[in-house]
Amino acid sequence: MNVATFASANKLITGRDSLTQLPAEIERLGVQRPLIVTDKILIQAGGQVEELLPMEAGIFSDVNPEPEIEIVDLCLQVIREGNHDGLIAVGGGSAIDIAKAASVMATNEGSIELYVGTNLVKKPGLPLIAIPTTAGTGSEVTNISILSDKKEQVKKGIVSPYLLPDVAIVSPMMTLTCPPSVTAASGIDALVHAVEAYISKFASPITDALAIGAMKLIAVHLPKAYACPDNVESREAMVTASLMAGLAFGNAGVGAVHALAYPLGGRFHMAHGVSNSLLLPYVMRWNKIACLQKLRDVAVALGENVQGDNDDEAAEKAIAAMTRLCRYVEIPQSLREFNIPETALAEMAEEATKQTRLLKNNPRTLRKKDIEDIYRAAY
């Protein structure tokens, strides 16, 4: 039986003035004592959100860029001590993922380790509003929380419909202070989401349309947002693209790029967007023979002229366009630039083979040797 489902945050609010709707949404959800979940760099943005609220809010600002499982426990402690009955995540994917996990841990018993995996969360969490400050992760509309395990040096995922935020408020104005390096890494991360969703074995006509639409916006507007951070039009296009890519991969899944990126984050603490961005062209070249026609569509979405080209030539143009876009926004091109020892590649390949939740979506089957070959090509 061929069945496709589609899930998202319960309510999406977008536009330059969308943040003004926060008070009404807090009231609608019946939240009396909200907790704002953010990081120390974005504490000012958290304060901006707090000023809009009709009641006093707490602030948890201990989120870090690649958040560990222990951060969820700290957030949960603050929730319980403050008797908070709802969460407002303000930040990139890290803050939103911590808030997602903390919201369900506040209503489900036991250790968070019990819920690592798919569909293991038993009950809905506290009401959650997600307000992204980057254009990349799409976490505001997905049902997954990615956390780092310091002991095992790997990233782990909790996947559950109960992690979908109740409301996503997506305003380009929240991204205007995003540093160029974060704009670049998060923007290419959104491109990875769109491309991997489009070539996924579980893609559908709905996710395909969202993925292609996201690619078109990113190709035009990411360089502009990077070059001119206060370009509101391009910032708005990028948050829209990130949202669309999030909806696409949240339903179709992502594949080998993410599977190979996880060991880089877990072992070497490389930022998620950077690791995805670096690996994208190398994985796509490996995948090419399994999805030639789809990569032809990617080439067109990225602005390439493929008229008269065969599918292989068009696919190469898609990969070249991805590589060029990464260079435009100064994404590093090799693992060597991060001082990763070549001796670690085989161990990383072994770790990546365990990411079966992701690898099953990939259009081409990867063995350990294949993964190691991709790492070596990217080295």
pLDDT attached to residue 37: 97
290, with CB counted inside 10 A (0-12, 13-18, 19+), is middle
Q: Over the stretch 124-181, which tens digit does the pLDDT of each residue have?
A: 999 999 999 999 999 999 999 999 888 887 788 999 999 999 999 999 999 999 999 9
- Written as six digits, the tokens of 363 are 């259009």
Q: Over the stretch 9-45, which tens digit does the pLDDT of each residue have?
A: 999 999 999 999 999 999 999 999 999 999 988 887 7
CA dihedral of 193, 199, 202, 207, whole degrees rounded to 10: 60
- Residues in Cβ contact with 270 at an 8 Å cutoff, skipping those fewer than 6 apart: 261, 264, 338
pLDDT attached to residue 305: 97
Q: What sign has the CA pseudo-torsion 335, 337, 340, 344?
A: positive
Residue in the structure block whose two tokens are 């990939």 = 362
pLDDT attached to residue 362: 97
* CA 358 to chain CA mean position, Å: 14
**pLDDT less than 50: residues of the chain:** 1
CB atoms < 10 A from the CB of 253, how many? 21
pLDDT attached to residue 48: 85
Strand order across the beta sheet in which 128-132 lies: 11-14, 167-170, 128-132, 86-91, 34-39, 58-63
**Nearest CA-CA partner of 25 in 170, 215, 139, 158:** 170
pLDDT attached to residue 272: 84
Q: What sign has the CA pseudo-torsion 306, 329, 248, 202?
A: positive
- Residues in Cβ contact with 180 at an 8 Å cutoff, skipping those fewer than 6 apart: 226, 229, 329
**Nearest CA-CA partner of 9 in 103, 73, 107, 78:** 103
pLDDT attached to residue 1: 47
Rounded to 10°, the helix 345-353/368-378 angle is 130
CA dihedral of 270, 129, 8, 140, whole degrees rounded to 10: -20
- 361 near 202, Cβ under 8 Å? yes
Q: What sign has the CA pseudo-torsion 138, 141, 142, 146?
A: positive
| pTM over 0.85, yes/no | yes
